[in-house]
């Protein structure tokens, strides 16, 4: 089966990455590589001409094309961008929204539309004290609702959510987070824990 190698120029060192990748392949693997595409290029493609000619001469593999950088708002896989810090905004905004960063958070990109608003700051928080100044607290979806509910209690976040409710801070639950705000959660299928008390908010 033929293979096309796609190299990300936005990270830097694209020609070294192409050469190094091909050099590390076993001969039978390298024989399958029929071409290279350079991805995420910003600027004049003519600037790459000499580099493309050199990498083709060194590897014997043709560069099939150069793809431009496109600023497309694509959703990230659950949790990956959060761990990388992409969504941890610290600039001051008029409306401060705290999303509780559950250990098994699901569909965190539900909040991209909020974060895109010019006067809104969206924070993903694990420290209970981080709810103190929030204008809105959100419990997001979860891939393990009862497990994350236990974490809320053990971490002190459940108490912080209750304190926010007493201060009349709006609470919003989505999917599993909405279930956690209820009086009781009954789950006899996924967790086997049966009925567990919710936050009662």
* Interval 59-89: pLDDT, tens: 999 999 999 987 665 555 555 455 544 444 4
For residue 13, is it left (φ>0), alpha (ψ between -120 and 50) or beta?
left
Q: Of the listed 115, 175, 193, 201, which one is catalytic?
A: 175
pLDDT of 192 higher than 50: yes
pLDDT of 75 reads 57
| Average pLDDT score, the chain | 86
Domains annotated for the chain, with CATH where assigned, are: 3-68 (3.30.160), 80-197 (3.40.50.880)
Check: pTM over 0.75? Answer yes or no. Answer: no
Closest to 175 in 3D by CA, of 122, 128, 106, 77: 106
Specify whether 175 is catalytic.
yes
Sheet with 171-173, edge to edge strand ranges: 120-125, 95-100, 136-139, 171-173
Residue with tokens 């979806």: 141
């Amino acid at each position: 089966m033929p293979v096309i190698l796609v190299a990300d120029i936005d990270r830097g060192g694209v020609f070294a990455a192409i050469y190094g990748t091909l050099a590390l392949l076993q001969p039978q693997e390298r024989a399958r590589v029929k071409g290279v595409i350079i991805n995420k290029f910003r600027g004049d493609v003519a600037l790459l001409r000499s580099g493309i000619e050199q990498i083709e001469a060194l590897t014997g593999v043709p560069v099939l094309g150069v793809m431009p950088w496109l600023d497309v708002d694509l959703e990230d896989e659950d949790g990956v961008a959060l761990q990388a810090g992409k969504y941890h905004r610290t600039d001051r905004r008029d409306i401060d929204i705290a999303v509780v960063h559950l250990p098994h958070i699901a569909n965190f990109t539900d909040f991209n539309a909020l974060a895109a608003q010019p006067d809104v700051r969206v924070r993903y928080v694990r420290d209970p004290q981080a709810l103190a100044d929030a204008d809105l607290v959100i419990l997001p979806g979860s891939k393990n609702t009862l497990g994350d509910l236990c974490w809320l209690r053990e971490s002190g976040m459940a108490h912080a959510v209750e304190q926010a409710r007493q201060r009349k801070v709006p609470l919003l639950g989505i999917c599993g987070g909405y279930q956690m705000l209820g009086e009781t959660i009954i789950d006899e299928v996924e967790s086997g824990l049966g009925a567990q008390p919710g936050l009662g908010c």
